[in-house]
């Protein structure tokens, strides 16, 4: 898709479709919408009066132009009540408009954005949100159908932006970041949508190497022999019952060689999770191909970091494996020794993600990470607590947690922090090992966080449980059914903040 800036008067543009913005509850049309209304002899005002155009949030109404303007179509996009308008709501509304236009066969789309809206925010952030809305909203996972029902016949080719009082540098910065953030998120979506027979741990490692080569990152893939030498026993225990060998994937970006500070990103890469010997229910198990969405988020973020080149150092660690079932698999009651040296009593084989992350977090520290974030589809309990709207956050350092949450807010990803009181540690206490990996149903999400906390020592660390946000339940704004790429934009924004860019 090509992005262009339009400097000509809006009503002179010969475009397939012109999008103007309208807020709900206002006394009259404003800015570009008012300009279009006047060119159309106030027919939009008439539709407002008749209740066909309300400005309701995400309302997208195609209007005939009656030959009054060069644009072939006009789309009035509702932004909801102006006092509720945020960049995130704007981004999601834009996604709806883009899909509506594509469905109508539009090839060339133009957004008219008046100064009274783009003045609300930093101009580059405003442009970035608009670009992300289009690029994320138009994502399609094509899969392996022999005949693609979506077809390429309906593909948006060019987007023009007619922006009042936005400088060229702000426009260029916004477009660049928007396209990079969206492309990285779509990379993560593609990875998490792939079936487990195609995306194995080894294939995931190959995709990571491709991203590293494309973006100029350093890459190291630890295979099973090396994992055994390093005593990565927690990762290997989970992988033992699978015919697919485990991998530890390491990507690194050095953007500030003079600095000792290193941002460590760790992603859970279980490419299929049967639950182990304590097998999951059969209903919905096909969705367990997405249990590597944390790994996908980290890979997407590293792709974006490689493109944007922030002034910071980043190390990404992805433990990758399958959790399957055979006579070699780990069992409840087993005790394993992790890479850190700490011992773990197994109480549930479906609490496997925290086991591989234990080795991943400890290894990231070994590699020099001074601040850590891990991303994982860790617990079903987080869906009970927060539904599919917000990612669960747990941390051992309030300042670092605040930094991660601010990055999420800026990126437009909703998060909510859960407490990490010492009393919760009783759920993971073991009589025969340093800890156990599961302690029953109470505080299930927090249990996962308390477990992981044991492997970061004093390093500032934040855990993102994306089990509820990694998979879209319905088409809504920038999200479609299937993988969402949750966490990519937060991690990318965090790296930019980490580097002061």
Query: Which positions are annotated as active-site residues?
Result: 280, 354
CA distances from 286 to 50, 62, 105, 124, 244 (A): 48, 39, 34, 41, 18
SS3 state at 156:
coil
Instruction: Describe the crossing of helices 168-193 and 293-308 by its angle, rounded to 10 degrees.
Output: 150
Q: Which of 100, 114, 59, 10 is nearest to 48 (CA)?
A: 59
Beta bridge partners of 342: none
Dihedrals phi, psi of 161, to nearest 5 degrees: -115, 120
HSE (side-chain half, CA atoms, 13 Å) at 73: 23
SS3 state at 392:
strand
Gap between the Cα atoms of 375 and 86, Å rounded: 26
Q: Which of 246, 217, 308 is nearest to 493 (CA)?
A: 308
Residue 31 near residue 115, CB atoms below 8 Å: yes
Q: Which residues, at least 6 apart from 268, have a Cβ–Cβ distance to it below 8 Å?
A: 291, 292, 293, 294, 295, 319, 353, 356, 357, 360, 374, 375, 376, 377, 378
E strand segments, 223-376: 247-254, 263-267, 269-273, 313-323, 335-337, 343-345, 371-376
Beta bridge partners of 464: 375, 393
């Amino acid at each position: 898709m090509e992005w262009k800036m339009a400097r000509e008067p809006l009503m002179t543009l010969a475009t397939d479709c012109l999008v103007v913005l309208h807020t709900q509850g206002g006394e009259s049309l404003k800015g570009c919408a008012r300009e279009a209304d006047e060119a159309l002899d106030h027919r939009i005002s008439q539709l407002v009066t008749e209740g066909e155009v309300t400005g309701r949030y995400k309302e997208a109404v195609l209007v005939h132009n009656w030959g009054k303007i060069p644009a072939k179509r006009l789309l009035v996009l509702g932004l909801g009540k102006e006092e509720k308008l945020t960049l995130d709501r704007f981004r999601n509304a834009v996604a709806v408009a883009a899909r509506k236009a594509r469905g109508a066969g539009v090839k060339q789309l133009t957004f008219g954005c008046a100064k009274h809206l783009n003045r609300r925010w930093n101009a580059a952030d405003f442009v970035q949100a608009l670009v992300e809305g289009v690029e994320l909203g138009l994502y399609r996972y094509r899969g392996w159908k022999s005949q693609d029902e979506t077809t390429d016949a309906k593909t948006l080719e060019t987007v023009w932006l007619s922006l009042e009082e936005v400088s060229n540098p702000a426009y260029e910065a916004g477009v660049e970041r928007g396209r990079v953030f969206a492309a990285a998120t779509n990379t993560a979506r593609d990875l998490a949508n792939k079936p487990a027979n195609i995306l194995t741990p080894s294939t995931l490692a190959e995709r990571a190497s491709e991203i590293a080569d494309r973006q100029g990152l350093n890459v190291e893939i630890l295979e099973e022999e090396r994992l055994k030498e390093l005593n990565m026993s927690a990762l290997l225990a989970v992988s033992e019952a699978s015919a697919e060998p485990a991998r530890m994937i390491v990507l690194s970006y050095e953007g500030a060689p003079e600095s000792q500070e290193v941002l460590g990103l760790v992603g859970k890469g279980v490419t299929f999770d049967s639950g182990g010997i304590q097998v999951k229910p059969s209903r919905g198990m096909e969705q367990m191909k997405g249990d590597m969405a944390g790994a996908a988020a980290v890979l997407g973020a590293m792709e974006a970091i490689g493109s944007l080149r922030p002034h910071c150092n980043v190390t990404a660690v992805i433990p990758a494996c399958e959790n399957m079932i055979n006579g070699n698999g780990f069992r409840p009651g087993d005790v394993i020794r992790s890479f850190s040296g700490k011992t773990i009593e197994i109480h549930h084989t479906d609490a496997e993600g925290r086991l591989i992350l234990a080795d991943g977090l400890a290894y990231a520290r070994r590699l020099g990470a001074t601040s850590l974030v891990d991303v994982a589809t860790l617990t079903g309990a987080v869906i009970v607590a927060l539904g599919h709207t917000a990612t669960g956050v747990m941390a051992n350092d309030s300042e670092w947690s605040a930094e991660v949450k601010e990055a999420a807010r800026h990126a437009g990803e909703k998060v909510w922090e859960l407490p990490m009181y010492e009393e919760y540690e009783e759920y993971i206490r073991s009589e025969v090992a340093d800890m156990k990996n599961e302690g029953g149903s109470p505080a299930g999400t927090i249990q996962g966080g308390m477990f992981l906390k044991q492997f970061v020592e004093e390093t500032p660390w934040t855990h993102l449980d994306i089990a509820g946000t990694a998979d879209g339940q319905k088409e809504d704004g920038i999200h479609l059914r299937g993988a969402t790429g949750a966490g990519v934009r937060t991690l990318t924004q965090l790296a930019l903040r980490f580097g002061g860019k």
